Amino acid sequence: MRKFELFSKPVVGLAIACLIFYIGYVAGSSGLVTNSLRSRHQASQNDLPENLDYASVEQVYDSLRTNYDGELSADDLLDGLKEGLAQAAGDPYTEYLDAKESADFDEQLTGSFTGIGAELSKEDEVIVIIAPIAGFPAEKAGLRAKDIITKIDGENALDLSVSEAVKKIRGPEGTKVTLTIIREGQASELEFKITRAQINIPSVTSEILSGNIGYMKISRFGEDTAELARAAANDFKQKAVKGVILDVRNNPGGLLDASVDLSAVWVNRGETVLEEKRGGKTIKTFRANAGAILNGTPTIVLINEGSASASEITAGALKDHGLARLLGETTFGKGSVQQLVNFKDNTVLKVTIARWYTPSGKNIDEEGIEPDEKIARTNDDYAAHRDPQKDKALELLQR
């Protein structure tokens, strides 16, 4: 349930991103660092002390231990301290995951987990749906990108962290959760009762549409995305497609490396896909490093408010290099990169390490990427199962 964020991956493993039920752990926000941050990100904050003075923390602890009328757990108190440190950064993508949350996060990276099929973030102090995943319970129930969750099973959700919302929404397969939401343009709150399910999401699906147009849908950016995308691209090439629709709508992101590799299906080897900057200085430039199978093939990228993080990297790279037209709605606007730092007790710190910029030097954080042609998909379109964005892309490529 948090953002399936964009993550940078020097060792193994996400970005962001950042998916508990696709309610994902942004993020969204890219691989993982499993032991420590890369050396280029190890520069400490110069104005911070090397060690904190915990005397005041000990005073609070002693007062709790002495006066609290209830049961306290030393492990829970320590987890609370660590979570508070991460929250004090004031960054919605920097957070501490306890052992259970870390295990859930590892599970979701495989694209198979139990939930409702939606990704959450926190914006302006409220829990917001980044994207419902096509074909899964959240979308089928009618949830939309940018819906604000006000209640979970009748309980106030406005003061919850993303982690707390995740815990309340997740549950056994077949059980139900009721979400109350505020939607732009609606005068009153809406209520959705959703049955939790096992979510299995292939990262890439493809087909040939009428008029010999290739259609490639990227649902998430995982370890298998590059291989599957290149296989689909080779199939399109062999069948001499007239054009390609690349659909990254409602894709909250994932592995940074996967977005770079997908972009390289169009972007020529050696050309810039994105730059990472820290403190305003470029720390790494990511370049296409494989054959651009579909370079020169007319391409339209479908985007919407649920296209975040790694989706925005690919859309931005193809747009800046003049390799594709963007059609749909303005993207989510997540321009930061996270890494995971794993600790010996199986807990994890997810921390924002850099901002990313498109080849033209634009950071899209909180702004998103504008389509070349804006076409909305209305509530009526969703209800009637109409897709004017995909229909328009097909029409343009068939000309």
The catalytic residue positions are 309, 320, 334
Q: State the Cα–Cα distance between residues 310 and 334, nearest whole angstrom.
A: 9
**DSSP label at 4?**
B
CA neighbor of 373 nearest in space, from 323, 321, 328, 330: 328
CA neighbor of 28 nearest in space, from 371, 365, 392, 320: 365
CB-count burial class (<10 Å; 0-12, 13-18, 19+) for 136: buried
Amino acid identity of residue 338, one-letter, is: Q
Q: State the Cα–Cα distance between residues 175 and 179, nearest whole angstrom.
A: 13
Burial 170-181 (b: 16+ CB within 10 A, else e): bbeeeeebebbb
Q: Which two tokens stand for residue 210?
A: 């009428």
Q: Long-range contacts of range 233-237, CB-CB < 8 Å, 24 or more positions apart?
A: 233/265, 233/293, 233/294, 234/293, 235/206, 236/206, 236/208, 236/294, 236/297, 237/293, 237/294, 237/297
**Residue owning tokens 């993020």:** 27
DSSP SS3 for 238: helix
Q: List phi, psi (to 5°) of 134.
A: -55, 130
